[in-house]
Structure 1
């Protein structure tokens, strides 16, 4: 039971979702449960038949949320602590399920009591207003919240406190309470939403242009087809990135760098991401259909493979590396399908081995980072830090095989059709040998970015290597 003592200062009642927490536990628990069991959407729909409180109870039980890593608002915490220091009482009252709310209150240690939905009663809006009035009396509490659904609660509060509320809501809230205060601690921005799309990763999608360049077909129609294939791939890839971030919230928050990602840090509401993923997918599908049903089928295969990777395959040892290599190569296949350019077996073989190497480097980097932080395994992956030597050998071995494929291609009759001076192309083999060896060494020393492709775009040496490759390729055509 709540303490009904009348104090000089009213009890400070704090909402959880969007107020104390820069997130929403309903979405948090859904994505956590979905990451554990792909049947979650169907089971959630079944639970919802018994009401929202029942849905929250199911998700709270099905999910595995680490309350110590959630994105709390430090300014709200400081406000609550200051209230307690003045001798006031505090209560966490939320529509989220009681079990998770209690764990949050225990972790923070700044609330005298905590109340949440119990599987039957959804403690939200009018229900919350009635609950608080019965226990604290009319105007017996100050209420801190962020949403229009809280207006019925503010109507019975002695003091209205809004957190990051829009101007229109502030005006409505001010009319309800004799006292009011507005806190502005943070807000989602267009920049944060753009960051969530990972535009720096779109560089990978430039592989769709490779068939065009490899075949030396640079007419306007082919260029436009490749461009729209690039746009479709970028939209669908960003949809998958958003989905992956939502499924990886716990692992990202436990990571020293990934915890700064928009969804993990609370810079963007998870609710936004829940709609961004299908919206981006739909836009990409429409462009894919415009490029023909064959290209659309390739994109469907890419999306299915990537989704399977996000939901399960990324936790399977070696399988994850094979899938990543395949996802890179699919981009080249898509470029060929979009433009109607037949793909060379040499190009596909080179791509598979090179991208297997880069995927292994990515895992090597994660394992080295885990070892440096004193962990025995990489969070959410199927590897132990003891696997570093083997993964490193996989990376360098596959990379060298890709160079061997290139060397064999340079000795084939096919190369003479496109390059009058193929001897100049041997310089590419030397550059690749150096670059692959250096990437593995940089990773071994713990200096690799989480994604080797992103690292390569920012690394001056890698940029010089790319320039040299272009020079040797041009030499094969012009010398």
Structure 2
């Protein structure tokens, strides 16, 4: 154990609880001090916090340098306690942004005001336990892992017995692994227990309190894999559309499976990116509500989902064609490079984002066997660069609205907004220029009997790009402009207009 020297904090400083809410709770439910004579020992992972400190620190470590993965494997050979200590030596955590169990936190502060002794008893490293204990300022002492001792199971129970001697105690925890400690406690507190844990605990022990935050539903898992982002993979159908082969059933089926493979692959990287960006997301006004950052989904679930989704993606790709598999693997490697390093390099990040969109178009060519034209690649490069710049600009507009200056985990500052806006609109208008040059090229004659009608696409596209950037400047653009394009009513209407123009240029004689 490590003796703490802490100063109690105000109730409202913890977990963003409203002072009025806490005060009302205390006035209405304050019990007699003699009602709670037992010292209370509180578990950390999954109990006090809705996260897992070992996973949190591991991803922070790997984010700083991916090669640490190999060093972690070596540390693990020397035992879990040694692993935790080595990670703790290299990684700090910010206790103020961790997702805590709000109802339990309120209860603990209430108990502290009665003079009750409260201990933080965790298998996490003592460095992190002390940081969190000091953040709250209510713990009498801590029990935590050290370099040589992993403070879990029997070791934690022995440490608790050392504190209480022959006395009784109460233990707050969340899972089946805590049963041996509950066996020796006078009473127990359950925090977000599984149905099995709750049923067995009620049958075998005296349960004084059960704290349940809203459990994660299936919708949160869909949110974690960002299923709404799958619509981006419609881009794989672009080669079919431009080659006028959208009516060939075999190619459509192959491209559909290709889009599914890309969706699974992208989702695996989205999850990895969220796990690497936990601290950055929690400092963001909106991203802190993401499933992993908020603690709605266990980090372990995310770790398991990544290889499952990636394996499904590769199996589908291997079934389609070798060329498509190569493109998919290249896409995955680029997204990994982006997640670990490239997204923090100014301007490189938007070029990579634009490139990831273009890779989808190339993948559509690989799965369908349709050769890509110079015009389609040039148009894709400029239009997607414009959208990538709009994405970054939207984030900076949000920062300016929140009166912040720097992006967390990015290299941009609010003062860059005007430059990004200029580059983005210029890139968007360049895509229209490419479209105009394409319409005037000999290639068009073979596909469109009346190419002059295609010219109507240019003002339509100019209007849409201008509107995108106008909404971005106003702060009305969400994180992903391409997803916005699929959901926005005016964008949908403009897409129908473009389709009508294309059909008219093809059929009118």
Report the TM-score, using the length of structure 2 for normalisation. Answer: 0.90
Which of 92, 95, 111 is the matching residue for 2:123?
Answer: 95
Q: Are the aligned partners of 1:138 and 1:157 in contact in 2 as well (CA < 8 Å)?
A: no
* Structure 2 gap segments, 5+ residues each: 4-33
Corresponding position of 2:251: 222
1:414 to 424, 443, 448: 443
Deviation at 1:450, TM superposition (A): 1.5
- Specify whether residues 13 and 353 from structure 1 end up closer, same or farther in structure 2 by C-alpha distance, changes over 3 A only: same
5 Å-filtered alignment, 1:141-156, equals 141-156=169-184
Task: Show CA shifts across 1:160-218 (max 9, x none).
Answer: 21112122222333455345543322322211111101011111111001111111112
Cα distance in 1 between the residues matched to 2:444 and 2:80 = 65
- Please state how far the C-alpha of 1:461 moved relative to its aligned partner: 2.3
User: C-alpha offsets along residues 72-93 of structure 1, whole Å, 9 cap, x if unaligned?
Assistant: 1101101212222333211111
RMSD value, Cα: 1.7
Residue in structure 2 matched with residue 17 of structure 1 by the alignment: 45
Give the aligned partner of residue 334 of structure 1. Answer: 363
1:450 matches 2:479: yes
* 1:463 positional shift: 2.2
Are positions 1:354 and 2:383 aligned together?
Answer: yes
Question: Is 2:157 aligned against 1:129?
Answer: yes
Task: State the partner residue of 2:276.
Answer: 247
**Residue 71 of structure 1, CA deviation:** 0.6
How far 1:120 moved relative to its partner?
1.4
* Unpaired runs of at least 5, structure 1: none
Report deviation, 1:408: 0.4
Q: Out of 100, 103, 116, which is 1:72 matched to?
A: 100
Offset of residue 341 of structure 1? 0.8
Aligned: 1:276 with 2:292:
no
| 2:232–2:483 CA contact under 8 A, matched in 1 | no
Please, which of 322, 332, 342 is the counterpart of residue 351 of structure 2?
322
Match of 2:140 in 1: 112
Q: Deviation string for 1:403-428 (max 9, x for gaps)?
A: 11100000111111111221121111
User: Which residue does the alignment assign to 2:85?
Assistant: 57
Are 1:85 and 2:113 counterparts?
A: yes
> How big is the shift at 1:2?
8.5
Q: Determine whether 1:384 maps to 2:417.
A: no
Deviation per CA, 1:84-123: give whole Å up to 9, x if none. 2333211111111111111111112232222211121111
Q: 1:156 to 1:291 in 2, by over 3 A?
A: same
Indicate yes or no: 2:168 matched with 1:140.
Answer: yes
Q: Please tell me whether residue 401 in structure 1 is matched to residue 467 in structure 2.
A: no
Aligned residues of 1:145 and 1:163 also touching (Cα < 8 A) = yes
Greater displacement, 159-168 / 239-248: 159-168
Question: Distance in 2 between the 1:374 and 1:151 partners?
Answer: 48
CA contact (8 A) 2:190 2:207 kept: no
From 429, 439, 444, give the equivalent of 2:458: 429
> Is 2:197 the partner of 1:169?
yes
Partner of 1:300: 329
Larger CA deviation: 167-176 vs 235-244: 167-176
Q: Is the 8 A contact 1:428 1:469 kept in 2?
A: yes
Secondary structure at 1:160's aligned position in 2? strand
CA deviation vs aligned residue, 1:355-409 (integer Å, no higher than 9, x gap)? 0110111111112222222222211111121111111111011111111110000
- In structure 2, distance between residues paired with 1:22 and 1:70: 8
How many matched pairs?
A: 477
Residue range with higher mean Cα deviation, 365-374 or 288-297? 365-374
Give the corresponding residue for 1:265.
294
Aligned match of 2:396: 367
**CA separation in 2, counterparts of 1:8 and 1:396?**
65
Match for residue 470 of structure 1?
A: 499
| 8 Å contact from structure 2 (residues 143, 156) kept in 1 | no
Whether 1:158 and 2:176 are equivalent positions in the alignment is no
How does the TM-score come out when normalised to structure 1?
0.96
- Seen in structure 2, the aligned counterparts of structure 1 residues 389 and 179 have a Cα distance that, compared at 3 Å, is closer
SS at 1:75's partner residue? Answer: helix
User: Does residue 27 of the first structure (1) align with residue 55 of the second (2)?
Assistant: yes
Indicate the SS of the match to 2:97.
Answer: coil
Q: Distance in 2 between matches of 1:207 and 1:178?
A: 58
CA distance in 2, matches of 1:337, 1:277: 25
